[in-house]
Amino acid sequence: MDDTVKKAEAELRRTDMDLKTGGHKKVFDKLPGIDKLVAEVLASQPNHPRLANLIATLKTQKEKAETKLGKTLTLQTDIEGYLAEQMRKADAGAAEKQREEEARAAAEAEKRQRSEAEAAARQKRDAENREAEDALRAYYTSVEKTINLAKAQPGLKDQEIEDHLTATDTLRTQLPTMSDVLKKYDERKAADSLGSYAQMQLKEAVENADEWRKQAAKALATAADSMLSFPRKSQGADVVFGQQIAQIRKVLDFAARYDANDPDVKNLQAEVASLEKGASGKIASTKWEDHRNAPANTAELAAAGMRFFKGDKGWADRYTILAVSVKGQWTVQKKNILGAPILYGIAVNVAVQKEEDKGQNQARVFDGTLITVEKEGVKPEPPFEGFYVGGNWMVNADSVK
C-alpha cells in the first residue's frame, strides 16, 4: 500500500507543477485518477500516517482547479467527511489528552496533598513525641533522688534508715502518678519508639517498689541476726546486754516498718523478746554481794570507795553510784626496782545505775581494783586514785544495800 501512497504523492506533486504553468484543465482531468488512488488507501489503511496529507493536498488542488475553471468536480473520496472525522478525532484526542492531563494533575495534587498530610502528621507526631518525652523527663527529674535512694540498701544509722524509709514511703505514694505518666507516655509515643532512660527507671520503680522494701527488711534482719551473736552468748549476764538488745530491737522495728510480715523479722523479734525475758529473770534472781574476805576497816574502805566513784567525772557523770563492797585484802600492784611497793590496790565491786535501769529495778555491777596513789613509801590505805575495771553483770537493784 505504500506504493499506492507514493504514486498518489507523485501525481499530486505533478499537479502542483501543472497548476503553476496554467494547466488547470489538465489537473482537473487528472484528479479523478489520483482520487481513486487515495480512495484505495483510505479503504485499506484509513490510519496511514501520510493519508491525511494526501487528502488535504487533493482538496487544495481540487479547489484551485474548480476555481480556475468554474466547474465542480465530484470525487470518490469524501474529503469533507474525512477531514471532519479527522477533526472530530483530533478534538476527541485533545479532549482525551486534556482529561489525561487533568487526571494526572489531580493525581499529582492528591499525591502532594497526601504527602503534605503525612508530613503534617509526622510533624505533629514528632511534636507529641517530644512533648511526651519532655513531660516524662521532667517528672523523672522530680522523683529521681527518691527512686535512687529507695532502691539502694539502707545504712545502719538511725537517720540513714529513716531517710530510706521516707524515700520508700514517698515512692509508694507516687506509684499511681508514676503509672499514669508512663501510660500517657506510651499512648503518645510512636509505636516504634525505643523509649528512654527515664522511662526504664520509672518502670523499674513501679515494678520493684514493694520488692525494694522487702529487700530492705531482709537486709536489716540479717544485720540484727549478726548483732545478736553476743546477746545470745551472754544471755543477759553483762551490762551491755540491755544496750545491745535495745539497738537490735530498734533495727528490727525499722525492718518491720518496711515489711511487718517478713518471717525473719518476726522470728528475730520473738527471739529478742525471749532473750529479754530470760535476762530479766536472771537479773531479778541475781543479788548484790556484800563484803567478803575484807580488812577490818571494811566500812571505812567502802566509804572511801564511794567518795572516789562519786568524785570521778567518768563515773559520776554516767551513773548513779549505789554501793561499794570490798572483796579481798590489799595487794601490791607495783614495785620499784628495789622491790619495795609503790602502788597498792584492793578488790571491790561497785553497784551503779543508769537512768533506764531504774524503771526495770536493775543495777550494774563492775568488779575491779581500787588503787592508791603511786609513790615511794605509799601505804595500803585510802585515798583512792583510780580503778582497774574487770568484769560486769546486772543485779536486782533491791538487793543493793
- Give the sheet arrangement for strand 386-396, strand by strand: 320-335, 341-353, 362-371, 386-396
Contact 367, 392 (CB under 8 A): yes
Residue with cell 570521778: 312
pLDDT of residue 371: 98
Q: What number is the average pLDDT over the span 211-224? A: 92
- Vertex 65: Cα angle to 62 and 66 (nearest 5): 80
> Nearest-CA neighbor of 31 among 70, 1, 67, 60?
60
pLDDT of residue 74: 78
Q: Which amino acid is at 188?
A: R
Q: Tell me the per-residue pLDDT of 49-69, one tens digit each, with 9 for 90 and over.
A: 887 887 888 888 778 878 878
Question: What span, in angstroms and rounded, lies between the C-alpha atoms of 204 and 85?
Answer: 81
- In Å, how far from its chain's centre is CA 282? 54
pLDDT confidence of 89, banded at 50, 70, 90?
A: low
Residues forming a β-bridge with 324: 350
* 365 contact partners, CB below 8 Å, separation of at least 6: 239, 288, 349, 350, 351, 352, 392, 393, 394, 395
Q: 54 exposed, middle or buried (CB, 10 Å; 0-12, 13-18, 19+)?
A: buried
Whole-structure pTM value: 0.58
Residues in the chain: 401
3-class DSSP state for residue 344?
strand
Q: Tell me the per-residue pLDDT of 369-383, one tens digit each, with 9 for 90 and over.
A: 999 999 999 999 999
For the chain, the domains span 2-77, 219-285, 298-399
Peptide bond before 46: cis, by omega within 30 degrees of 0?
no
pLDDT of residue 205: 86
pLDDT of residue 60: 85
pLDDT of residue 191: 44
3-class DSSP state for residue 248?
helix
Contact 181, 202 (CB under 8 A): yes
Q: Tell me the per-residue pLDDT of 282-337, one tens digit each, with 9 for 90 and over.
A: 888 889 999 999 999 999 999 999 999 999 999 999 999 999 999 999 999 999 99
pLDDT confidence of 119, banded at 50, 70, 90?
A: confident
